Structure 1
């Protein structure tokens, strides 16, 4: 997260992307870097080097990346002369990350560029590879002498960070045996989204909200990350993950931390991360015999969705998708009730849910406030009364809405809920940067505020492991709740929240 209105450019940087010929680089990383270049944020001296096994020359690699920019970038190609200026700073190394003997190629590249630039550069290694390849690459990188320089060498690790608590701890231990904690950037692209970052400004730059941001005034908080799509050809991956691991353990718990954290004394990276890990420490651990009361899972079944009768599309059941076991117990929907056992949030539930093939694509945080007393108003005036709430929409819309009561025009006293809205698109003329633009710039600048620390990862896994263990023990396929594609998930999710007198905010 940049710390000034007009941030200075990072120092000279060499960025190596393992998996440089892969999909993430094609769709996200290079388009993000090119947009940073167009906006004047890239270092004066930089080079981006893709590393992969695919046979590319520098020229053919650049042509391939330009196709990705034309297809996926928020600004497409931009001025032609800008690509002609940017692309010579992009190169390719054909090598196998598992071949320790080939790593001298990286060392040679670093020496050559630093000689050209007349001094040392920041060196970043981005792990855009399958999780099982990260340990071997990190071990091989450690043989390069300069990787021990904590001031200028960084390694970026994509999620999933481990498959469970034990594997996450093993990965952390391995990385920390080769790199210092301040060199390791565990990336979660959700935290780079503009609306997520705006949570800190909303809470701590406005006296309007912070005095009310506690259990005395907040009745509950809901966090929803809903997708309308299914697996999109990722059945093999999803079978090993599931909704709880894929979304709640990382993305949604990190959002919960930003909603629930105490005010920081500064916006230094470790101060923000300390406050977030305090929230994770405070989240009530779930006993095995309590899992069924506070956690719900489900799988989408066969059905139809998308539009009216003329445009409805058949949707196969999850168990009929390619790469999925016919008796799979992997959840495509998960909902959990969390509690933060601290002074600020005592007794306030945090309802978290995520799923595929749901009714809408949306990532929304809803903070519902406790009701105001009705007794001063005639009964008829309050028929449409709704609780005050703050609705923070992360995607696809990026806005913040405050719902409150207002008098309906007319000669009688009648109240209706109305909204005040802040919308990024109408309030600002600047284009909103993609999440990876923000995060890549932060890595180059050495700002770890929006990246997870080892203790955060460990605590997040500790929170969800009782649920994962309990679900793993349930092996009867008939016990898995099935929900209709295009719905809001299984009925058990609604029952979980209704037993406390609340409802999911579906809008």
Structure 2
């Protein structure tokens, strides 16, 4: 029998009776279920969520009766929403468009019109979900993706509770909620938000999306460290001088000025993305990779993480000014359309942390993020201490830097090792060289988009890559003192667009005899 969908997709209803569930070479396919997206008219849904759903279907990882429901205030019929999804898939999907896959997916697409405070709309949504259970065989299993501003979380959660949509009616059914960052704007608001969500959904049914944790390279940190004998013996304060974790963007705010004002780089990136990268980098080896063990080690290392004092010397912030970016002259933050020229919101943030543990005692962790920087890059650089160089004199090694292991998260996913090598010739001269591993060169399959992995994990009930309450609240405990100090300090230091940040960020490093990497 020939499968009309494609060679990688099994016929509908087919299961492999010989499959061993412990065999990790075979993909895990979601069981009967549906996904409800609130905020389907937004960029996130159009550019990431809908294409990710199609890509999962294209890879044969969704059940044949999968259902996708959109909820928004637009006056659309099911067919109108289907056209929106179709156009988003054709424009943004990672995998090739296949008509047979689309036709099967489109059969389960529904739309419900309404606002978040409209009881009747949520009652219609409840009726739609129950109808899909009957028509598509979703078995009462539904995930609710809140791709909406955090201020709308409380009303939507209360509506899901009032309408009965959050209820698991029979044993074995599940209802889950997916929340996009930001998870609050400080510790107090995060706790209030967690209380609201957990009043409707138990913590094991709450999936907080940090899309960086869905990236292949982030998950490869665990493989790099714990599957190889090569790195773990030197992954400690005896050999590591410091760690730099960077997320740099070369774009400005553009049309997001109104959203960004009052949030800033530290809240937008450090509190979630970079502290999670720190946790993966510094955590101890878990007993197993079960969600409980993995989360336990991450929470342990975050509890041991603290700010290095004094904050006026170990933190830095800035706002981008006019400058040159990629051969083009660009305006500064205060000239961006819709931005308050008196705003003190930072577009660059850098902080210094230390992990108070036997493994990392005395090793500073430098976290930085910014907009309108030299290039778009996210990386973790583990920089090692200098060797004694006993057999060499200074002239032989004057061009030699420190050894480093650099994990490139984006855009060029891979790992680079920097070490010293002799320059060809009759004299002994040592310079830095790079040994490079790239995903695109070593594997024939493209890395899936982060949202593909994370949405599939939600549908599978696999929580390993989703931060829990304790992680979110501890991250705010770490960052809040910095935000409070900055709020009392006035205006951030300007830095020209296309550079690598304000002078205060360089001073932060030079005080300890170090320098920032220029990726």
TM-score (norm 2): 0.92
**Partner residue of 1:23 out of 36, 39, 43:** 43
Structure 2 residue 63 is matched with structure 1 residue 49: no
User: In 2, are the aligned partners of 1:186 and 1:453 still within 8 Å (CA)?
Assistant: yes
Unaligned ranges ≥5, structure 2: 1-21
Deviation sequence 1:234-268 (CA, Å, 0-9, x none): 00111021000011011111101100111000111
**Partner residue of 2:119 out of 100, 114, 118:** 100
User: In 1, are the aligned partners of 2:34 and 2:138 still within 8 Å (CA)?
Assistant: no
Specify the SS of the correspondent of 1:437.
helix
Specify the SS of the correspondent of 2:183.
coil
The CA distance in 1 between the partners of 2:408 and 2:237, in whole Å, is 22
In structure 1, the partner of 2:27 is 7
Relative CO higher for 1 or 2, CA cutoff 8 Å, sep ≥ 6? 1
**Partner residue of 1:362 out of 373, 377, 383:** 377
- Gap change, CA 1:406 and 1:468, over 3 Å in 2: same
Structure 2 residue 509 is matched with structure 1 residue 506: no
Shift of 1:187: 0.5
Mean Cα deviation higher: 218-227 or 403-412: 403-412
Structure 2 residue 438 is matched with structure 1 residue 416: no
The CA distance in 1 between the partners of 2:138 and 2:399, in whole Å, is 68
The CA distance in 2 between the partners of 1:305 and 1:147, in whole Å, is 48
Counterpart mapping for 1:429-468 below 5 A: 429-468=444-483
Deviation sequence 1:78-126 (CA, Å, 0-9, x none): 1233222222222211121222333222221222222235572421000
The CA distance in 2 between the partners of 1:318 and 1:495, in whole Å, is 23
In structure 2, the partner of 1:183 is 205
Mean Cα deviation higher: 169-178 or 90-99: 90-99
In structure 2, the partner of 1:349 is 364
The CA distance in 2 between the partners of 1:3 and 1:181, in whole Å, is 29
The CA distance in 1 between the partners of 2:197 and 2:137, in whole Å, is 31
The CA distance in 2 between the partners of 1:118 and 1:353, in whole Å, is 47
Shift of 1:230: 0.3
Specify the SS of the correspondent of 2:162.
coil
- Gap change, CA 1:286 and 1:408, over 3 Å in 2: closer
The CA distance in 1 between the partners of 2:186 and 2:315, in whole Å, is 18
The CA distance in 2 between the partners of 1:202 and 1:469, in whole Å, is 37
**Partner residue of 2:92 out of 43, 60, 72:** 72
Counterpart mapping for 1:16-165 below 5 A: 16-75=36-95, 78-117=97-136, 120-145=139-164, 147-149=166-168, 152-165=174-187
Deviation sequence 1:282-334 (CA, Å, 0-9, x none): 112466xx221211000111223322xxxx32x22211212221211010100
Deviation sequence 1:348-402 (CA, Å, 0-9, x none): 0001111011111100110011111112124432222221110111111111011
User: In 2, are the aligned partners of 1:295 and 1:335 still within 8 Å (CA)?
Assistant: yes
Counterpart mapping for 1:267-346 below 5 A: 267-285=289-307, 290-307=310-327, 312-313=328-329, 315-346=330-361
Specify the SS of the correspondent of 1:360.
coil
The CA distance in 1 between the partners of 2:340 and 2:125, in whole Å, is 41
The CA distance in 2 between the partners of 1:329 and 1:153, in whole Å, is 41
Specify the SS of the correspondent of 2:339.
coil
User: In 1, are the aligned partners of 2:417 and 2:436 still within 8 Å (CA)?
Assistant: yes
Mean Cα deviation higher: 255-264 or 53-62: 53-62
Q: CA RMSD in A?
A: 1.7
In structure 1, the partner of 2:232 is 210
Structure 2 residue 184 is matched with structure 1 residue 169: no
Matched residue count:
495
The CA distance in 2 between the partners of 1:446 and 1:118, in whole Å, is 18
**Partner residue of 2:275 out of 235, 249, 253:** 253
User: In 2, are the aligned partners of 1:286 and 1:463 still within 8 Å (CA)?
Assistant: no
TM-score (norm 1): 0.94
The CA distance in 2 between the partners of 1:446 and 1:4, in whole Å, is 17
User: In 2, are the aligned partners of 1:286 and 1:466 still within 8 Å (CA)?
Assistant: no
The CA distance in 2 between the partners of 1:91 and 1:421, in whole Å, is 47
In structure 1, the partner of 2:219 is 197
Unaligned ranges ≥5, structure 1: none
User: In 2, are the aligned partners of 1:286 and 1:467 still within 8 Å (CA)?
Assistant: no
Deviation sequence 1:214-241 (CA, Å, 0-9, x none): 1111100001100110002000111021
In structure 1, the partner of 2:18 is none
In structure 2, the partner of 1:371 is 386
The CA distance in 1 between the partners of 2:153 and 2:94, in whole Å, is 30
In structure 2, the partner of 1:484 is 496
Specify the SS of the correspondent of 1:402.
strand
Counterpart mapping for 1:212-251 below 5 A: 212-251=234-273
User: In 2, are the aligned partners of 1:47 and 1:89 still within 8 Å (CA)?
Assistant: yes
